Amino acid sequence: MIPAMRKVVVAGNWKMHTTPAEAGELARTIAARMREPAVTRVLCPPFVCLAAVRDALAEAGEDVAVGAQNVHHELQGAYTGEVSAPMLSGLATWVIVGHSERRRDAAETDEVIAGKLNRALEAGLHPILCVGEPLAAREAGADVAEAIVLDQLRGALMPNAGEALTGLVIAYEPVWAIGTGRNASGADAAAMADAIRRKLGPPMVWDTVPILYGGSVTSANVDEFFAEPSIDGALVGGASLKPDEMAGIVARAGVTARARLAVASAMRASRST
């Protein structure tokens, strides 16, 4: 499927920042600065801030979705400190799954991430599945990096199939670029997005899946990624806490989204004549 048919998504991952009192005001400020209806916009605050952000966005009348940063792979049980997918009902409509910091700090395996993805889909949440290679793999060559990313995808998606994945978004986040100030090139990110779509099928499903780039994304470097037809948005880390940065990123995403809408409209018009 051509890029015109895929939605453009910008999601902000606040990680372990903000208290509930801070989060609501920050969400209002950021949302007011990134009013771009052609772009799907998501803010992912810490668990304890979900209600505050939800309420602040609703009170302000902002069309910005709320996402959680994680979800447990079981529905319930003796898992102290964990949050299940049903618990997110009414608080979030999106969720990040498989972030490299969770893989590293919580030793999340592909099997665990597959369970999280399943629970999210069952609960009607829109999952953002994160994949990405470490620095050693990137330095070993594009083929090695691609193999690792595709292994992560296969591991997470093995129990899932077909139309159940039509709500999925994938974020390619090279581990070496997260929080380091380094970022992949637009060409490298696009090549990985193409590999994901080429290697995993069936095409009628996978060609519709938006693929985002994440890893030290800023308003200064995001043009390089949005210029690539294979890249459909961004998963933003540290910059998502800064209203000016998010405004710039979403504004650039809006250019891409409106261009795609224009192409899609022209295609529909040509088919009707």
Q: Which residues are known catalytic residues?
A: 99, 173
Q: Is 172 helix (H, G, I), strand (E, B) or coil?
A: strand
Calpha distance 170→96 (Å, rounded)? 10
138-153 per-residue burial string, b: 16 or more CB within 10 A, e: under 16: beeeeeebbebbbebb
Q: In terms of DSSP H, where are the helices of 39-99? A: 50-60
Determine the Cα–Cα distance for residues 193 and 145; give it in Å rounded to an integer.
12
Contact 119, 71 (CB under 8 A): yes
Say if residue 244 is exposed, middle or buried (CB neighbours under 10 Å; 0-12, 13-18, 19+): exposed
Strands 39-44 and 233-236: unpaired
Tokens of 192: 């990985």
Q: Tell me how far CA of residue 85 lies from CA of 105, 126, 128, 132, 145, in angstroms.
A: 21, 11, 14, 24, 31
- Is residue 247 within 8 A of residue 24, CB to CB? The reply is no
